Amino acid sequence: MRVYEELTSIEPKVMAGFTWRQLLAVVVVGAVTIGLVVALFLAGTTDFSIVSWIVIPIAVPFAAWGWVKPFGMRFEKYAGHVRRFLARPTKRLYANDALWQAHQRESFEGKRPRVPRKQEQVEEAGH
């Protein structure tokens, strides 16, 4: 018998081993499929093999909503995080040079380096 560490992680099974979310996802996908078959039948189409190819892109988001829990989060919360991650600016606003590379570049260009040498510090102190 499985013992749960956290009681909030338990999702009750309502019917046929589905949770409420999964049951709602199955009902929505079933309704879309039946509606599509009826629409194609009324349009006079006799080849219904195209139905599965049309239903798959419609069913995937509902299936993800019902079953997928990345990192233990519900799918809509995870999708919000992904959307915010993709919407943020990709240009970095900071320099990624190491301190010694900046020092070498400035000394090569003839500028005074940012980090004074110990000898220069001693001379400035008057010793």
pLDDT of residue 78: 92
Does 123 lie in the same domain as 61?
A: no
Does 83 lie in the same domain as 59?
A: yes
Contacts of 28 (CB under 8 A, 6+ apart): 62
Helix (H, G, I), strand (E, B) or coil at 3: coil
Does 77 lie in the same domain as 101?
A: no
pLDDT of residue 41: 85
Range of the domain at 123: 96-127
Within a domain: residue 2?
Answer: no
Does 27 lie in the same domain as 82?
A: yes
Does 121 lie in the same domain as 83?
A: no
| Residue of 28, 29, 50, 30 whose CA lies nearest to 41 | 50
Q: Tens-digit pLDDT profile for the chain (127 aa)?
A: 777 677 676 777 888 888 888 999 999 999 988 888 888 888 887 777 888 888 888 889 888 888 888 888 888 899 999 999 999 877 665 556 565 555 555 555 555 555 556 666 666 666 5
pLDDT of residue 82: 93
Does 59 lie in the same domain as 12?
A: yes
Does 20 lie in the same domain as 70?
A: yes
pLDDT of residue 122: 62
Asked if residue 22 lies in contact with residue 66, where contact means CB atoms within 8 angstroms, the answer is yes
Q: Six-digit token pair at 102? A: 């900046």
pLDDT of residue 106: 54
* Buried residues in 72-95 as b, exposed as e (16+ CB within 10 A): eeebeebbeeeeeeeeeeeeeeee
Secondary element (H or E) of residue 37? helix 20-42
Does 36 lie in the same domain as 14?
A: yes
Within a domain: residue 1?
Answer: no
Domain count for the chain: 2
**Residue located via tokens 């829990």:** 69
**Residue located via tokens 């749960």:** 4
pLDDT of residue 104: 58
Does 12 lie in the same domain as 70?
A: yes
